[in-house]
Amino acid sequence: MKERSLRFVTCDVFTDRRFGGNPLAVLPDARGLDVEQMQLIAREFNFSETTFVLPPDDPRNTARVRIFTPVRELPFAGHPTVGTAFVLATLGTIARTTSDIVFEEGVGPVPVHIDREGERVTRCTLSVAQLPKRGAAPPSRDLLASMLSLDPKDVLDGAECWSCGLPFLVVPVTDLAALGRCVPNDAIVGRALADYATRAL
């Protein structure tokens, strides 16, 4: 990577205190970076997500935001979206008179509302780019139990896949004790979900 200086901000999302909530790294001006460089930077931060802010494709929107975990790019995620809005509004990149913005993300346009008290940004709230959509039928109860290192009796009926742009497989279990025993078996998960909607996670 050619040497250059890049500004970045780290913040804690969904909290009012430092080192709480979800950590996020934001690069407010990521122009000139390619996908490989973005992935390397996200891996170096090693936060759950790092965002890269670019000019929007549609000038009516505020910015294009690309979201990377340490290992891959995501089409959408909640805490990086609201965290990036908070950082840009706090830095003044988003004008103080602006309260409604739109980020372009992999899933499509994502509206965000910014609340302020005087000069201080107090809250950022997103509206989903897609309404919740049910995904494919889940694996069998026995297979779900194996994926989670549980006994089949620990897994309840009703597992479902849902997405607002990023699919999640939700598996109900009998109680907190069963939840505490959950240990994902990566090999079984990899085989069972190889062609499933959540495979990119």
User: For residues 117-128, b (16+ Cβ closer than 10 Å) or e, as one string?
Assistant: eeeebeebebeb
How many Å apart are CA 64 and CA 72, to the nearest integer?
Answer: 17
Tell me how far CA of residue 93 lies from CA of 28, 62, 65, in angstroms. Answer: 8, 10, 14
Tell me how far CA of residue 178 lies from CA of 150, 167, 169, 172, in angstroms. Answer: 7, 23, 17, 10
Catalytic residue among 3, 44, 49, 104: 49
Whether 104 is catalytic: no
Question: Which amino acids are annotated catalytic?
Answer: 49
